[in-house]
Every structure is written in structure tokens, then in C-alpha cells.
């Protein structure tokens, strides 16, 4: 019997790519707080905590997403329509990047003060 999809490699590569992306965004956010803390101490503490919580949530969501995708792929092995996961994780990562962008704008505005 021939399979319509690779049983482990492609979903595993996708999960690893998501993990690297989440790790990069989280690490970048936490590192940028070092510079932010000198100007805006509240954001310097709140942003890394928020980034760590959001990063952990995205990692958990990614693991669940991979398991759900693997289950659906196995269940729909003979189906004509492809199985596509939801875009919730992509939306959460986009929101996280938006928060980082807003924090960067706040930093530039406060650092360029009179």
C-alpha cells in the first residue's frame, strides 16, 4: 500500500520550524527588554514576562496542533480533500509580533523625548 503523505518527516519539520520561530520571537522580545528597561521600567519588566508566557503558550499550541494534524492525516488517508489545520497559531504569533512592534514604537517615542 502506498501512502499519500510521509508519516513523520514533513509534520515533524513543520513543528520544528514553528518551534524555531516561536523561540526566535520570544528570545528577541526578552533581549530587547534590556534596552527598554532603561527608559520605561514597567515595559522592561512586563514585556519579557508577556513574551515568555506567550512563547510557552505557542509551544504548547504547536505540539497539540501537530498531534491533531497527524491524527487527521491518518484518518483521512484515502480522502480526496487535503486536511488543513486551523490558523490559530499563526494568528497568535502575528499578535505577538504586533505587541513587539508596538513596544518598539513606544520605546522610540519615549527615547526621542525632549
Q: In this model, does residue 85 exceed pLDDT 80?
A: no
CA 25 from chain centre, in angstroms, equals 7
Q: Which domain holds residue 69?
A: 9-108
For residue 107, count CB atoms less than 10 angstroms from its CB and return exposed for 0-12, middle for 13-18, buried for 19 or more.
Answer: buried
Q: What is the mean pLDDT of residues 29-53?
A: 80
**What is the pLDDT at residue 6?**
61
Alpha-carbon span 112 to 68, nearest angstrom: 47
pLDDT tens sequence across 44-68: 888 888 888 888 888 888 888 777 7
Domain count, the chain: 1
Q: In this model, does residue 36 exceed pLDDT 50?
A: yes
Band the pLDDT of 83: cuts 50, 70, 90.
low
**What is the pLDDT at residue 1?**
46
For residue 103, count CB atoms less than 10 angstroms from its CB and return exposed for 0-12, middle for 13-18, buried for 19 or more.
Answer: buried
**What is the pLDDT at residue 48?**
84
Amino acid at each position: 500500500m502506498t501512502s499519500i503523505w510521509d508519516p513523520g518527516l514533513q509534520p515533524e519539520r513543520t513543528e520544528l520550524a514553528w518551534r524555531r520561530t516561536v523561540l526566535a520571537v520570544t528570545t528577541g522580545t526578552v533581549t530587547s527588554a534590556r534596552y527598554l528597561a532603561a527608559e520605561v521600567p514597567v515595559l522592561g519588566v512586563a514585556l519579557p514576562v508577556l513574551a515568555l508566557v506567550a512563547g510557552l503558550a505557542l509551544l504548547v499550541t504547536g505540539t497539540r496542533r501537530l498531534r491533531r494534524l497527524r491524527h487527521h492525516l491518518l484518518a483521512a488517508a484515502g480522502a480526496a480533500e487535503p486536511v488543513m489545520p486551523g490558523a490559530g497559531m499563526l494568528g497568535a504569533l502575528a499578535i505577538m509580533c504586533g505587541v513587539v512592534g508596538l513596544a518598539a514604537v513606544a520605546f522610540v517615542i519615549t527615547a526621542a523625548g525632549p
